[in-house]
Amino acid sequence: MAKIKVMDELLANKIAAGEVVERCASVVKELVENSIDAGSSEIKIDLIEAGTVQIKVTDNGSGMDKEDAVLAFGRHATSKLKNEDDLFHIMTLGFRGEALASIASVSKVNLKTCMQDVGTEVVIHGGKVLSVEPCEARIGTILTIDSLFYNTPARLKHMKSLYTELASITDYVNKIALSHPEIKFVLTNNNSSLLNTDGSNNLLKTISAVYGMDITRKMVEVSSEDEDYNITGYMSLPEVHRSSRNGMVTIVNGRVVRNMDLNRVINDSYHSYKPDNRYPIVVFNIEVDPTLVDVNVHPTKMDIKFSKMEELQTLITKMIQNQLKSRSLIPHIEVEEKEDEVVNEKPIYQEQTLDLNRVAETEDYIVIKDEVKVESPLFQVKEAKEEEVEKKSSNHLPELYPVGLVHGTYIICQNELGMYMIDQHAAKERINYELFKKKLGNPNHDSTSLLFPMTFEISNKDFIILKENFEILRNMNFEIEEFGLNSIIVKAHPTWLPKGYEKDATFKIMETLLEVEKDFSIEKFNEKVATMMSCKLAIKANENITELEMEQLIQDLKNCDNPFNCPHGRPTIIFYSNYDLEKLFKRSGFDLAKW
């Protein structure tokens, strides 16, 4: 007697639901993607108790006739693939035909849809069709999912808390709204609005709806292309960063995707402009021939593979770094206006040090803002006069005049635009970092012979690795040899090692070589050595320096490629405009001539 039997269709759908419908957010994702594929310009998602009680998705898409409304819940039923070749030219968000069948097998579904004069209502409980009736004519589709996982208690038991489920849904809807700014998205939970975009096809306005105005003001428009890829979108200035990668939104042909290599390249492109354990906010829309990508990797369709990944990585890196290098990145410390304060005058300050080229007007005052192009009344954006904003090269800082030192740590400077504070340790770190990077990348073969050679005793494992990599150290102008069992002797070292720290620096360099040995590249090694050395030789906090030393430090900082951040990504300098200083002292609203 045969042991193998073909599974019942309901059982097969429940098994498929284990992958396709993992949680409430999975249901929202599948339904919203269907609405987008149906050509909707407005999509509303209404939740009750974070979707655990009810999920309702309403759209104004093409709708379905009676036959399609029933057939849509069949397994592997789809209008998006006609033959095998279509699998290699996927331009829709959905294509497998598993979602509705899987959702219907573990919930109570009510579908109302119409494409002409008569609508169709389909009621399904646990995968069984209970009724198919005519209903009111409203072009589009309304899908209501009640009691998700009611017939699979094991899945229901492992649902996360309501807050976790709601956060997951909100995160998804935020990202899908960013990927389709031409569609109006409304998300509510228990009748409370969580997101409401206007569908005007203005990505910056959608970013504002998702992240808020403060973040939007610090987003920079980017674009780049080559023969295979066209990239458009926005990236945050380095001062804006988050503790997770969740703010890095990558969209490929309208589909929000998750690719660790892309995230790594984006984050690495900000290297030394921000802390390494923090991540930027970006929204990148990548258009590519569908034959160069594979979205059929995982049931969620979020994982994706690129056939020309190296070219894409290079394009993204150059695009981000060109933006960072072409801007002045001094953080501008703004003073918020309190509600009870009345400001009679609205001065505009020429904040050319911020490389700003647009003016944003708020209810309280006018300041020059960067790259905000939204035209809604909320933003009130207008072009700045050319003579008001002089774009400055990012290769140097504005002219700064030191006036004092606070706590032996912060140099206070001024110019006609306002006040600047420089962290002397971070500034010296940046100066040293670029010096050592240059020395390592262009060695001059100068070395210092030691009257008393340095010896190091290390473990047998480390000894074997170092011995194998002696040539790397010798290329750095170390004269290094074996010195007995598990010992190394250094008879000469490069001249640029910090005086007084020669032995410590040499040991740190050997440690760095051991650390990167498994995934060694000379670029990574030089980067780590330069970062380590820059900290060793930097001025420490609480160390008083003379005015002449301050002036030299500022001059050296101006000559840096990136004078705005230390190698670890911390800011070297911050700025208070004259207007912000006046607000702090309640002077901005007074006519001083009367006093």
pLDDT in tens, 238-295: 989 998 899 999 999 888 988 888 999 999 999 889 888 899 999 999 999 888 887 6
Is the pLDDT higher at 512 or at 223? 223
- The residue whose two tokens read 């939740």 is 47
Residue range 375-392: mean pLDDT, rounded: 35
pLDDT in tens, 33-61: 999 989 999 999 999 999 999 999 999 99
Name the CA dihedral angle for 570, 573, 577, 581, rounded to a multiple of 10 degrees: 90
Q: Of the candidates 49, 395, 18, 339, which has an alpha carbon nearest to the alpha carbon of residue 188?
A: 49
- Judge whether residue 403 has pLDDT over 90: yes
For 17, counting Cβ atoms within 10 Å of its Cβ (0-12 exposed, 13-18 middle, 19+ buried), the class is buried
Please tell me the predicted confidence (pLDDT) of residue 352. 34
* C-beta separation of 315 from 308 below 8 A: no
Please tell me the predicted confidence (pLDDT) of residue 509. 83
- The residue whose two tokens read 């990797």 is 297
CA distance 553 to 163: 50
Is the pLDDT higher at 350 or at 137? 137
Q: Of the ranges 191-205, 251-265, 493-507, which is most confident?
A: 191-205
CA within 13 Å, CB half, 462: 15
- Judge whether residue 391 has pLDDT over 60: no
Which residue type is seen at 512?
T
CB atoms within 10 A of CB 516: 16
Q: Is 317 helix (H, G, I), strand (E, B) or coil?
A: helix
* C-beta separation of 196 from 205 below 8 A: no
Q: Is 490 helix (H, G, I), strand (E, B) or coil?
A: strand
Please tell me the predicted confidence (pLDDT) of residue 49. 93
Q: Of the candidates 118, 103, 114, 125, which has an alpha carbon nearest to the alpha carbon of residue 64?
A: 114
CA distance 161 to 506: 53
Please tell me the predicted confidence (pLDDT) of residue 48. 95
- Judge whether residue 426 has pLDDT over 50: yes
- Judge whether residue 219 has pLDDT over 60: yes
Order the strands of the 366-369 sheet from edge to edge: 366-369, 358-361, 381-383
Which residues are CB-contacts of 319 (< 8 A; sequence separation ≥ 6)?
222, 223, 224, 231
* C-beta separation of 357 from 370 below 8 A: yes
CB atoms within 10 A of CB 579: 24
- What average pLDDT is seen over the chain? 79
pLDDT band at 149 (very low <50, low <70, confident <90, very high): confident
Q: Which H or E run includes 211?
A: helix 203-211
Look up the pTM and report it: 0.70
Please tell me the predicted confidence (pLDDT) of residue 508. 80
Is the pLDDT higher at 417 or at 353? 417
- Judge whether residue 304 has pLDDT over 80: no
Domains and CATH numbers, the chain: 9-196 (3.30.565.10), 218-325 (3.30.230.10)
Is the pLDDT higher at 477 or at 14? 477
- Judge whether residue 142 has pLDDT over 50: yes
DSSP state letters, 60-87: -S----HHHHHHTTSTT--SS--SGGGG
* C-beta separation of 352 from 417 below 8 A: yes
Please tell me the predicted confidence (pLDDT) of residue 536. 66
Please tell me the predicted confidence (pLDDT) of residue 3. 56
* C-beta separation of 49 from 24 below 8 A: no
Please tell me the predicted confidence (pLDDT) of residue 400. 93
Is the pLDDT higher at 20 or at 429? 429
pLDDT in tens, 313-350: 999 999 999 999 888 888 887 766 655 444 444 333 33
CB atoms within 10 A of CB 76: 10
Task: Please give the DSSP secondary-structure letter assigned to residue 580.
Answer: H
pLDDT band at 198 (very low <50, low <70, confident <90, very high): very high
CA within 13 Å, CB half, 81: 18
For 460, counting Cβ atoms within 10 Å of its Cβ (0-12 exposed, 13-18 middle, 19+ buried), the class is exposed
Tokens representing 522?
């000379």
Q: Which H or E run includes 489?
A: strand 487-494
CA distance 414 to 198: 43
* C-beta separation of 539 from 556 below 8 A: no
Q: Of the ranges 355-359, 386-390, 548-552, which is most confident?
A: 548-552
Please tell me the predicted confidence (pLDDT) of residue 393. 40
- Give, in order, the Cα–Cα distances in Å from 239 to each of 169, 279, 281: 28, 10, 10
Tokens representing 88?
């290699």
Share of the chain above pLDDT 70, in %: 75
